[in-house]
Amino acid sequence: MTASIIDGFAAAAELREQVSREAAALKASHGVVPGLAVVLVGEDPASAVYVRNKLKATAECGLKSLEFKLSESATEEEVLALVKRLNADPAVHGILVQLPLPKQIDSDKVLGLIDPDKDVDGFHPVNAGRLSVGLPGFVPCTPRGSQILIDRILPDLSGKTAVVIGRSNIVGKPMAQLLLQKNATVTIAHSRTKDLPAVCRTADVLVAAVGRPLMVKGDWIKPGAIVIDVGINRIEVDGKGKIVGDVDFDSAKEVAGAITPVPRGVGPMTIACLMLNTLDSARRASGAA
Protein backbone atom coordinates (compact mmCIF):
# COMPACT_ATOMS: atom_id res chain seq x y z
CA MET A 1 0.00 0.00 0.00
CA THR A 2 1.15 3.52 -0.79
CA ALA A 3 -0.81 6.33 0.83
CA SER A 4 -2.57 9.04 -1.08
CA ILE A 5 -0.96 12.40 -0.33
CA ILE A 6 -3.27 14.98 1.25
CA ASP A 7 -2.36 18.21 -0.53
CA GLY A 8 -2.80 20.89 2.11
CA PHE A 9 -1.34 23.52 -0.20
CA ALA A 10 -4.10 22.99 -2.78
CA ALA A 11 -6.80 22.75 -0.11
CA ALA A 12 -5.61 26.01 1.44
CA ALA A 13 -5.67 27.74 -1.96
CA GLU A 14 -9.30 26.67 -2.40
CA LEU A 15 -10.18 27.91 1.09
CA ARG A 16 -8.50 31.28 0.53
CA GLU A 17 -10.41 31.66 -2.73
CA GLN A 18 -13.65 30.92 -0.86
CA VAL A 19 -12.77 33.51 1.79
CA SER A 20 -11.98 36.05 -0.93
CA ARG A 21 -15.37 35.55 -2.63
CA GLU A 22 -17.31 35.68 0.61
CA ALA A 23 -15.41 38.72 1.90
CA ALA A 24 -16.27 40.55 -1.33
CA ALA A 25 -19.92 39.58 -0.89
CA LEU A 26 -19.89 40.85 2.72
CA LYS A 27 -18.46 44.17 1.56
CA ALA A 28 -21.12 44.46 -1.15
CA SER A 29 -24.03 43.57 1.13
CA HIS A 30 -23.01 45.23 4.41
CA GLY A 31 -20.17 47.61 3.55
CA VAL A 32 -17.86 45.69 5.89
CA VAL A 33 -14.26 44.68 5.14
CA PRO A 34 -12.95 42.09 7.60
CA GLY A 35 -10.01 43.58 9.50
CA LEU A 36 -7.15 41.62 11.07
CA ALA A 37 -4.77 43.34 13.50
CA VAL A 38 -1.42 41.61 13.99
CA VAL A 39 0.78 42.60 16.92
CA LEU A 40 4.50 41.81 16.80
CA VAL A 41 6.64 42.55 19.84
CA GLY A 42 10.41 42.29 19.43
CA GLU A 43 12.65 41.14 16.62
CA ASP A 44 12.33 37.34 16.64
CA PRO A 45 13.19 36.32 13.03
CA ALA A 46 10.78 33.39 12.88
CA SER A 47 7.94 35.51 14.25
CA ALA A 48 8.67 38.19 11.66
CA VAL A 49 8.38 35.61 8.87
CA TYR A 50 5.11 34.25 10.27
CA VAL A 51 3.65 37.76 10.52
CA ARG A 52 4.74 38.61 6.99
CA ASN A 53 3.06 35.47 5.63
CA LYS A 54 -0.15 36.21 7.53
CA LEU A 55 -0.28 39.79 6.28
CA LYS A 56 0.35 38.63 2.71
CA ALA A 57 -2.50 36.12 2.93
CA THR A 58 -4.78 38.78 4.40
CA ALA A 59 -4.20 41.08 1.43
CA GLU A 60 -4.65 38.25 -1.09
CA CYS A 61 -8.04 37.39 0.43
CA GLY A 62 -9.25 40.98 0.19
CA LEU A 63 -9.19 41.51 3.94
CA LYS A 64 -7.77 44.59 5.66
CA SER A 65 -4.56 44.08 7.61
CA LEU A 66 -3.21 46.30 10.37
CA GLU A 67 0.30 45.63 11.64
CA PHE A 68 1.51 46.91 15.00
CA LYS A 69 5.21 46.57 15.84
CA LEU A 70 6.53 47.16 19.34
CA SER A 71 10.15 47.06 20.42
CA GLU A 72 11.81 44.20 22.28
CA SER A 73 11.86 46.45 25.36
CA ALA A 74 8.12 47.18 25.26
CA THR A 75 6.45 46.92 28.64
CA GLU A 76 3.56 44.67 29.48
CA GLU A 77 1.45 47.77 30.10
CA GLU A 78 2.13 49.01 26.56
CA VAL A 79 1.05 45.72 25.03
CA LEU A 80 -2.09 45.53 27.18
CA ALA A 81 -3.00 49.11 26.27
CA LEU A 82 -2.69 48.27 22.58
CA VAL A 83 -4.92 45.20 22.96
CA LYS A 84 -7.54 47.31 24.76
CA ARG A 85 -7.48 49.84 21.92
CA LEU A 86 -7.92 47.11 19.31
CA ASN A 87 -10.75 45.54 21.32
CA ALA A 88 -12.61 48.87 21.10
CA ASP A 89 -11.98 49.45 17.37
CA PRO A 90 -15.03 48.38 15.32
CA ALA A 91 -12.89 48.11 12.18
CA VAL A 92 -10.85 45.33 13.81
CA HIS A 93 -12.57 41.94 13.69
CA GLY A 94 -9.59 39.77 14.57
CA ILE A 95 -6.65 40.33 16.92
CA LEU A 96 -3.54 38.19 16.69
CA VAL A 97 -0.65 38.67 19.10
CA GLN A 98 2.33 36.80 17.69
CA LEU A 99 4.02 34.47 20.16
CA PRO A 100 6.48 34.17 21.78
CA LEU A 101 6.49 37.49 23.61
CA PRO A 102 9.58 38.92 25.34
CA LYS A 103 10.19 37.55 28.85
CA GLN A 104 8.99 40.70 30.63
CA ILE A 105 5.47 40.20 29.24
CA ASP A 106 2.98 37.66 30.60
CA SER A 107 1.56 35.95 27.50
CA ASP A 108 -1.41 34.52 29.37
CA LYS A 109 -2.38 37.98 30.61
CA VAL A 110 -2.14 39.45 27.11
CA LEU A 111 -4.09 36.65 25.41
CA GLY A 112 -6.67 36.71 28.20
CA LEU A 113 -7.35 40.39 27.57
CA ILE A 114 -8.26 39.91 23.90
CA ASP A 115 -12.00 40.20 23.32
CA PRO A 116 -13.13 36.55 22.85
CA ASP A 117 -15.24 37.70 19.90
CA LYS A 118 -12.05 38.95 18.19
CA ASP A 119 -9.85 36.04 19.28
CA VAL A 120 -9.33 34.59 15.81
CA ASP A 121 -6.44 32.45 17.08
CA GLY A 122 -8.94 30.66 19.32
CA PHE A 123 -6.63 30.71 22.36
CA HIS A 124 -8.85 32.59 24.83
CA PRO A 125 -10.24 30.44 27.69
CA VAL A 126 -13.76 31.50 26.72
CA ASN A 127 -13.32 30.07 23.22
CA ALA A 128 -11.72 26.92 24.65
CA GLY A 129 -14.80 26.55 26.84
CA ARG A 130 -17.17 27.17 23.97
CA LEU A 131 -15.44 24.45 21.95
CA SER A 132 -15.57 21.96 24.81
CA VAL A 133 -19.34 22.32 25.26
CA GLY A 134 -20.18 22.62 21.56
CA LEU A 135 -21.09 26.31 21.45
CA PRO A 136 -20.12 28.62 18.56
CA GLY A 137 -16.72 30.22 18.98
CA PHE A 138 -13.29 30.40 17.42
CA VAL A 139 -11.38 27.16 16.96
CA PRO A 140 -7.55 27.37 16.88
CA CYS A 141 -6.47 27.52 13.25
CA THR A 142 -4.25 24.42 13.08
CA PRO A 143 -6.85 22.01 14.47
CA ARG A 144 -9.56 23.59 12.32
CA GLY A 145 -7.42 23.18 9.22
CA SER A 146 -6.54 19.61 10.17
CA GLN A 147 -10.21 18.72 10.60
CA ILE A 148 -11.04 20.19 7.18
CA LEU A 149 -8.37 17.94 5.63
CA ILE A 150 -9.73 14.90 7.47
CA ASP A 151 -13.27 15.73 6.31
CA ARG A 152 -12.10 15.74 2.69
CA ILE A 153 -10.97 12.13 3.06
CA LEU A 154 -13.52 10.74 5.54
CA PRO A 155 -16.44 13.06 6.33
CA ASP A 156 -18.18 10.57 8.65
CA LEU A 157 -16.05 9.55 11.64
CA SER A 158 -18.87 7.80 13.51
CA GLY A 159 -17.51 4.61 15.04
CA LYS A 160 -13.93 5.44 14.05
CA THR A 161 -11.02 5.55 16.48
CA ALA A 162 -8.84 8.66 16.59
CA VAL A 163 -5.56 9.17 18.43
CA VAL A 164 -4.03 12.60 18.99
CA ILE A 165 -0.39 12.62 20.06
CA GLY A 166 0.10 15.83 22.03
CA ARG A 167 -1.97 17.59 24.67
CA SER A 168 -1.22 21.27 24.06
CA ASN A 169 -3.92 23.89 24.42
CA ILE A 170 -3.12 25.11 20.91
CA VAL A 171 -3.39 21.83 18.97
CA GLY A 172 -3.83 18.61 20.94
CA LYS A 173 -6.80 19.41 23.17
CA PRO A 174 -8.87 21.35 20.61
CA MET A 175 -8.10 18.71 17.97
CA ALA A 176 -9.51 16.05 20.28
CA GLN A 177 -12.64 18.16 20.86
CA LEU A 178 -13.24 18.52 17.11
CA LEU A 179 -12.86 14.77 16.59
CA LEU A 180 -15.29 14.11 19.44
CA GLN A 181 -17.80 16.41 17.76
CA LYS A 182 -17.46 14.24 14.65
CA ASN A 183 -18.44 11.19 16.78
CA ALA A 184 -15.01 9.56 16.78
CA THR A 185 -13.76 7.67 19.82
CA VAL A 186 -10.75 9.76 20.84
CA THR A 187 -7.56 9.06 22.79
CA ILE A 188 -5.11 11.81 23.69
CA ALA A 189 -1.62 10.34 23.97
CA HIS A 190 1.44 12.09 25.38
CA SER A 191 4.92 11.62 26.84
CA ARG A 192 3.65 9.45 29.68
CA THR A 193 1.43 7.20 27.60
CA LYS A 194 2.33 3.54 28.10
CA ASP A 195 3.29 1.70 24.88
CA LEU A 196 2.61 4.64 22.58
CA PRO A 197 3.19 2.67 19.36
CA ALA A 198 0.47 0.19 20.35
CA VAL A 199 -1.95 3.03 21.11
CA CYS A 200 -1.23 4.62 17.74
CA ARG A 201 -1.90 1.35 15.94
CA THR A 202 -5.53 1.49 17.12
CA ALA A 203 -6.16 4.72 15.22
CA ASP A 204 -8.24 5.05 12.09
CA VAL A 205 -7.23 8.71 12.29
CA LEU A 206 -3.83 9.59 13.77
CA VAL A 207 -2.88 13.21 14.45
CA ALA A 208 0.76 13.82 15.42
CA ALA A 209 1.31 17.14 17.20
CA VAL A 210 4.17 16.51 19.60
CA GLY A 211 7.10 18.47 18.16
CA ARG A 212 9.56 15.57 17.87
CA PRO A 213 11.05 15.06 14.40
CA LEU A 214 10.26 11.76 12.66
CA MET A 215 9.03 10.16 15.89
CA VAL A 216 6.06 8.25 14.47
CA LYS A 217 7.31 5.30 12.43
CA GLY A 218 5.49 3.29 9.82
CA ASP A 219 5.02 0.32 12.16
CA TRP A 220 3.11 2.61 14.57
CA ILE A 221 0.35 3.08 11.99
CA LYS A 222 -2.75 1.01 11.37
CA PRO A 223 -2.89 -0.05 7.71
CA GLY A 224 -5.12 2.34 5.80
CA ALA A 225 -5.25 5.00 8.53
CA ILE A 226 -5.47 8.73 7.87
CA VAL A 227 -2.30 10.40 9.21
CA ILE A 228 -2.25 14.14 9.90
CA ASP A 229 1.25 15.43 10.66
CA VAL A 230 1.13 18.78 12.45
CA GLY A 231 4.85 18.84 13.30
CA ILE A 232 7.27 21.34 11.78
CA ASN A 233 10.84 20.54 12.80
CA ARG A 234 14.17 21.62 11.37
CA ILE A 235 16.88 18.95 11.26
CA GLU A 236 20.33 18.67 9.70
CA VAL A 237 20.72 16.25 6.78
CA ASP A 238 24.14 16.02 5.12
CA GLY A 239 25.03 19.40 6.60
CA LYS A 240 21.92 21.08 5.25
CA GLY A 241 18.76 22.17 7.04
CA LYS A 242 15.58 20.26 6.26
CA ILE A 243 11.99 20.71 7.45
CA VAL A 244 10.33 17.48 8.57
CA GLY A 245 7.25 16.53 10.52
CA ASP A 246 6.64 14.42 13.59
CA VAL A 247 5.96 11.44 11.32
CA ASP A 248 8.61 9.46 9.45
CA PHE A 249 6.94 10.13 6.12
CA ASP A 250 8.90 7.61 4.05
CA SER A 251 7.94 4.63 6.20
CA ALA A 252 4.46 5.89 7.09
CA LYS A 253 3.32 6.37 3.51
CA GLU A 254 3.83 2.66 2.87
CA VAL A 255 1.21 1.82 5.52
CA ALA A 256 -1.24 4.73 5.78
CA GLY A 257 -4.24 5.19 3.53
CA ALA A 258 -3.76 8.97 3.35
CA ILE A 259 -1.11 11.25 4.83
CA THR A 260 -0.18 14.92 4.95
CA PRO A 261 3.35 15.80 3.86
CA VAL A 262 5.61 18.32 5.57
CA PRO A 263 5.79 20.93 4.17
CA ARG A 264 2.64 21.54 2.04
CA GLY A 265 0.35 19.74 4.46
CA VAL A 266 -1.23 21.25 7.54
CA GLY A 267 0.89 24.43 7.52
CA PRO A 268 -0.87 26.23 4.64
CA MET A 269 -4.24 25.36 6.16
CA THR A 270 -3.36 27.13 9.39
CA ILE A 271 -3.06 30.53 7.71
CA ALA A 272 -6.10 29.89 5.50
CA CYS A 273 -8.18 29.14 8.61
CA LEU A 274 -6.95 32.36 10.21
CA MET A 275 -8.47 34.17 7.23
CA LEU A 276 -11.67 32.14 7.62
CA ASN A 277 -11.90 32.94 11.35
CA THR A 278 -11.46 36.65 10.61
CA LEU A 279 -14.22 36.52 8.00
CA ASP A 280 -16.48 34.68 10.46
CA SER A 281 -15.83 37.38 13.07
CA ALA A 282 -16.73 40.17 10.64
CA ARG A 283 -19.93 38.35 9.69
CA ARG A 284 -20.99 38.04 13.32
CA ALA A 285 -20.15 41.67 14.08
CA SER A 286 -22.15 42.89 11.07
CA GLY A 287 -25.13 40.61 11.69
CA ALA A 288 -24.50 38.71 8.47
CA ALA A 289 -23.71 35.37 10.16
Pick 288 or 155 by higher pLDDT: 155
The alpha carbon of 156 is separated from its chain's Cα centroid by a whole number of angstroms, namely: 21
- In tens, the pLDDT along 111-138 reads 999 999 999 999 999 999 999 999 999 9
State the catalytic residue, choosing from 98, 173, 177, 253: 98
- In tens, the pLDDT along 3-56 reads 999 999 999 999 999 999 999 999 999 999 999 999 999 988 888 888 999 999
Let me know: does 218 contact 240? Beta carbons within 8 Å: no
Let me know: does 224 contact 256? Beta carbons within 8 Å: yes
229 noted as active-site residue: no
Number of H helices, E strands in the chain: 10, 11
The alpha carbon of 132 is separated from its chain's Cα centroid by a whole number of angstroms, namely: 17
- In tens, the pLDDT along 76-119 reads 999 999 999 999 999 999 999 999 999 999 999 999 999 999 99
DSSP 120: T
147 noted as active-site residue: no
State the catalytic residue, choosing from 117, 119, 121, 248: 121
| pLDDT of residue 71 exceeding 80 | yes
State the catalytic residue, choosing from 54, 118, 160, 222: 54
pTM to 2 decimals?
A: 0.95
pLDDT confidence of residue 1: 66
98 noted as active-site residue: yes
Let me know: does 147 contact 178? Beta carbons within 8 Å: yes
